[in-house]
């Protein structure tokens, strides 16, 4: 028996290469609709959305993210006292690679960028994570590719950038999704850990 929901879950992949084609507004509306039907704490539905399809604006935001990363790297010897991740050579190398890459390794020249915003309240970010997953699954079923871009969180450190994006006062970027028509859609699922390794039953 094939379940279309679990089938979509198993076959969805993070896509970072897109063809040079705009994403139709109707499809973006469908994706956001799926997000709006995600479960949320106390049914507060704490999300708001910003959709950007302007290529120059997305490229500018990518440069803003890189600038924020470089600013953190310059202060890493102080910041590593508070953030253990900055003590790892792998993390530092990863951040440098993203910030110094000549290509857009932040938003990958995606034709559409969707920010999910929320307030800094208990369980709101978790609710927005459910929202983002719904949206990525919807994108997949619509023949589109998507990817959650964690680097976008660096934009929250710059109030000017948030103001220019018209992020409401008291809100922050909880998730950022790039969406587009994929150059290639992977057909096989990546190998998952065995069930016995990840489940402990208590009966």
The CATH number of the domain where 58 resides is what?
3.40.109.10
CA dihedral 55, 59, 65, 68 (to 10 degrees): -140
SS3 content of the chain, % helix, strand, coil (to 5): 50, 15, 35
Q: Tell me if 194 is assigned to some domain.
A: no
Q: Is 124 within 8 Å of 46 (Cβ atoms)?
A: yes
- Confidence (pLDDT) at 82: 66
Q: Tell me if 4 is assigned to some domain.
A: no
Q: Write the CA distances from 108 to 17, 105, 125, 138, 195, integer angstroms.
A: 7, 5, 24, 20, 34
pLDDT at 120 over 80: yes
By DSSP bridging, strand 171-180 and strand 112-119 are antiparallel
Q: Tell me if 156 is assigned to some domain.
A: yes
Q: What is the pLDDT of residues 128-170, one digit of tens each?
A: 999 999 999 999 999 999 999 999 999 999 999 999 999 999 9
- Confidence (pLDDT) at 182: 97
Q: Look at the chain and report how many structural domains it folds into.
A: 1
28: containing domain: 19-64+104-185
């Amino acid at each position: 028996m094939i379940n279309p929901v679990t089938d979509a879950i198993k076959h969805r992949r993070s896509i970072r290469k897109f063809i040079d084609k705009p994403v139709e507004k109707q499809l973006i509306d469908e994706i956001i609709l799926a997000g709006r039907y995600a479960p949320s704490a106390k049914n507060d539905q704490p999300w708001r959305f910003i959709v950007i399809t302007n290529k120059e604006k997305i490229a500018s935001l990518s440069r803003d993210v890189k600038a924020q990363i470089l600013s953190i790297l310059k202060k890493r010897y102080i910041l590593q006292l508070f953030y253990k991740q900055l003590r790892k050579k792998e993390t530092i190398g990863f951040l440098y690679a993203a910030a110094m890459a000549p290509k857009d390794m932040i938003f990958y020249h995606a034709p559409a960028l969707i920010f999910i915003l929320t307030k800094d309240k208990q369980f709101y970010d978790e609710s927005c994570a459910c929202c983002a997953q719904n949206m990525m699954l919807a994108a997949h079923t619509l023949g589109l590719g998507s990817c959650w871009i964690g680097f976008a969180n660096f934009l929250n450190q710059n109030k000017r950038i948030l103001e220019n994006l018209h992020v409401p006062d008291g809100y922050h970027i909880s998730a950022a999704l790039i969406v587009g028509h994929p150059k290639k859609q992977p057909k096989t699922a990546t190998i998952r850990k065995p069930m016995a390794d990840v489940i402990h039953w208590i009966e």
